[in-house]
Structure 1
Amino acid sequence: MRRQYTLFGWHLSYFTGKALCYLRYKQVDFRLKPVNLLTLTWTIKKKTGAAVMPVLRSPQGEWIQDTSVIIDRIEALIPDNPVIPATPVQAFASRMLEAWGDEWWVPIAMHTRWNYPENYALFEHDAGKALLPWAPTFLQKKAAAKPARFLRSMLPYVGIVPEQYDRMNRWTVKMLDALDAHFSATPFLLGERPSLGDFSLVGTMYGHLGRDPWPKRELIEPRKHLSAWLERMKNPAPHSTGALLPNDGIPRTLDPVFYSVFHEFVPMVEAVAENTARYAAKHGLNQKLPRRVGQVTTTMAGEPFTRGALPYMVWMLQRALDTYHAMNAADQANVRQWLSGYGAAHVLELDLPRVNRVALNVSVEKLPSNFLEQAA
């Protein structure tokens, strides 16, 4: 039997969509295997430290968890058609888009799934069949109910509370309209082929907004250019030879996106980083932090938006800043100049705690200098 990669996940999973589209783009020899109850709660947890999906098992038997790590690994093994642009501004922008797509859109995806009851039948069918593939339907429904209850219980922790529904809805419509307008002029975020930001953004579109009945009908299908992009992302390999925008360009049609990245998402991560540093200072460095350390308030659609503080966001933003710090001086100057156009050059000076990923959590390796000065 030919040895190949195995991607363990569900089509309805936020991050499985990201990994699935990426592996198709890179033309990796893999199969998608739905995660059953035993694999999820025993095998994956034993191999990676968390009961989570997706997970990629290599032909050599390595279990790779986290889509960012999966992409890093495959990019190193298969350098053809890279998803990280070679030029500095596009490379940094791609990393920022990955963090934004992975973290900022989670409340939108969960809100549009769990607050519209017509979506539940699809979740129940897919999750139940995956968890207990050989069981009768009534047992599959019981199996699906458990993760459904857990996910619903998480809604308040990511900011999905009734008093915030309206601003979430307004933000979603505004952003989807902006993306639809962008894709009317450009096939992918940065040109004629997908890059890292596309694969991160498709996470929320593939399994949630573009698949659940309510958001698919009400939000995605009426926007024909966004819908066409999503279809391209489901089978992206034919677009691998396309060119990114010349001269390290970033299209101005993405201005609303980068406004959200720099003036909504980044301030949220700054607040999360402060909570993270405070927790680590109290409980010690190099220890796994909880998934949530209090709550933070940022803005969404011009209004306050409060949600749980997930230290994992710090690791995602850290990846983007590491990309910048690895550049030579001339490339750094280009990135700084581009950020200045958004009033966001301060992003490069962020003094975050240095964190290490521990499955779905992080540990703090080093406290930020400004925090140490305040403590002194």
Structure 2
Amino acid sequence: MADVGGSSGVQYFEGVEKLLEIWFTRNDGAVKQCDLRKISRSKWESLLKIVRCEVISFVRNEHVDAYVLSESSMFITNRRFILKTCGTTTPLLCLKPLLMLVEQYAGFNEVEDVFYSRKNFKRPDLQLSPHKAFEQEVAVLNSFFKDGAAYCMGNMIEDCWYLYTLNPLGEGNKARRGIQEPDQTLEILMSDLDPDIMNVFTREESSSAAEATQKSGIDKLIPNMVIDDFLFEPCGYSMNGISKKAGPELAAGCYMTIHITPEPEFSYVSFESNVPQSSYKEVISRVLETFQPGKFVITVFANKASAAAASPKELERHTSFGDWLRHDVQYCRFKNYDLIYAFYSKFPS
């Protein structure tokens, strides 16, 4: 959020994030001694300089290290790396040093799967190379991964969502196994937010991040989370939540993250979580009631081992959420994952 100008409308800030997720393994299967969390914080901080952001805050449990960044978040588990950055950051420029770091200090020597995604930018002209166009981003990713596939969901003229992942067929048409452990991700990407709600995420309205979290109801979206939040000056908000403990409500390694750009001219809120649920309808409804967006995009990824395996199909049948009507939906079935993309906007009053 560091790029936000000192007064509303003076300097544009791109709230839309670039989301990079990489799963690592070893080509000989000997992964017991491998762990991304062996990489020191100083090494991660050096990597983030290439991305053009820095660490603001940090919490961890036995399953996940969660970093609040000056531009969004980073999550590190045993073998999964997640980097989510907004503004004019350059996450794909860190791929080469990241792969070297992971092999040298964590012991992994092979990428098992890659997911790179983002909504369309409002001001792509302000982005730095290679993020000015999705085609440029794909070219960079293809230079590291030989079996990639690129997709665009939604209306390319207005609101759409880009995805790059590894082709299910893999190199030489030999099928990849893919991620076998339960995995799922829900994202809600919201625009045209209610100005009164957005005011909560300014220093004029809230004296601290904790106050903004409580006033807005963010602390009630998913229970039993340790919340690490930050309120920027003069406005803007970021939070990470990680599960207090594994149990019936929250599985090990669960997280949620929210990032808010409150300026009315370019308001934007992102919500993301990997909490496994057979249905995400209640979580989605709570998020929408909390932020009251004019329009939003939902994406749900779930693999066959996930408790959320049926959720993409369920959302495909869900044509509205309260005051929000669905205008576009696309369903994709990959070898090991199902994906739903849907775009909604509020009924005219």
TM-score, normalized by length of structure 2? Answer: 0.30
> Based on CA coordinates, which of the two structures has the bigger radius of gyration?
1
Which structure dedicates a bigger proportion of its chain to helix? 1
